[in-house]
């Protein structure tokens, strides 16, 4: 009887030991924290920058789990990961703003550490939006008489004076391709391009 009781206690002790080890690991990893603050933009610009900014991804990831969730070296808050992601932040921000027509943002950034807390600040002025100055849409060749292609061109959101948004360009391109392929199944050459003048 005593032997059976000891085995039960030993079997219960192993999971408790494992749980206490996991708790210790969580406390060790939780000792570093990261706060990221983004100012100067709002709405879809802020949403996209927050989603694309590597250092903000790390802050979100570590806010909910104290253990690294991937094998990537930048998957936990360490001095090296924070500094590497901070160095890449301006590039991340520029790329996140481009789909909305902002190609020349002014970005001021700071990174400071107070004890075990990192604070990354990004003040962003998106600059002037790139507007569509001239747009030429047309159909050449056999597709000129295709009503579906004409309908796509007539309904595109790409218009002179409008802010260049990549989503409108991609929607127009996909709709043209779909209409061209539905015509008679023949392959068609669709060419769309954007020439952006630097001001």
The domain ranges of the chain are: 1-30, 32-125, 131-199
Higher-scoring residue by pLDDT: 67, 19: 67
- pLDDT at residue 30, rounded to an integer: 47
Measured distance CA(79)–CA(151) in Å, rounded? 55
**26-84: pLDDT as tens digits:** 333 445 899 999 999 999 999 999 999 999 999 998 765 544 444 444 457 899 999 99
Judge whether 99 and 107 are in contact, CB under 8 Å: no
Q: What is the pTM of this model?
A: 0.69
Spatial neighbors of 157 by CB under 8 A, at least 6 apart, are: 165, 168, 171, 172
- Say how many C-beta atoms besides its own lie within 10 A of residue 55's C-beta: 24
**In the numeric block, which tokens belong to residue 197?**
């003048």
- The CA distances from residue 190 to 18, 156, 159, 187, 193, in Å, are 61, 15, 19, 9, 10
pLDDT category, 99, cuts 50, 70, 90? very high
pLDDT at 18 over 60: no
Measured distance CA(68)–CA(33) in Å, rounded? 13
**Cα-based angle 178, 182, 186 (whole degrees, multiple of 5):** 105
Q: Say which CATH architecture domain 32-125 belongs to.
A: Roll (3.10)
Parallel, antiparallel, or unpaired for β 117-125 and 106-114?
antiparallel
**In the numeric block, which tokens belong to residue 193?**
């391009």
């Amino acid at each position: 009887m005593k032997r059976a009781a000891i085995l039960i206690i030993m079997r219960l002790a192993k999971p408790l030991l494992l749980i206490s080890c996991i708790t210790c690991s969580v406390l060790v990893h939780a000792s570093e924290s990261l706060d990221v603050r983004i100012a100067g933009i709002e709405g879809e610009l802020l949403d996209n920058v927050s989603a694309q900014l590597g250092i903000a991804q790390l802050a979100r990831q570590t806010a909910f789990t104290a253990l690294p969730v991937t094998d990537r070296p930048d998957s936990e808050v360490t001095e090296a990961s924070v500094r590497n992601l901070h160095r890449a932040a301006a590039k991340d921000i520029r790329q996140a703003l481009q789909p909305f027509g902002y190609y020349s943002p002014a970005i001021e950034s700071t990174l400071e550490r107070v004890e075990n807390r990192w604070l990354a600040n990004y003040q962003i002025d998106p600059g002037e939006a790139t507007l569509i100055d001239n747009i030429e849409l047309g159909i050449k060749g056999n597709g000129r008489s295709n009503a579906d292609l004409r309908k796509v061109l007539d309904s595109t959101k790409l218009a002179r004076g409008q802010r260049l948004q990549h989503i409108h360009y991609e929607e127009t391109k996909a709709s043209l391709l779909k209409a061209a392929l539905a015509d008679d199944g023949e392959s068609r050459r669709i060419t769309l391009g954007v020439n952006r003048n630097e001001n």
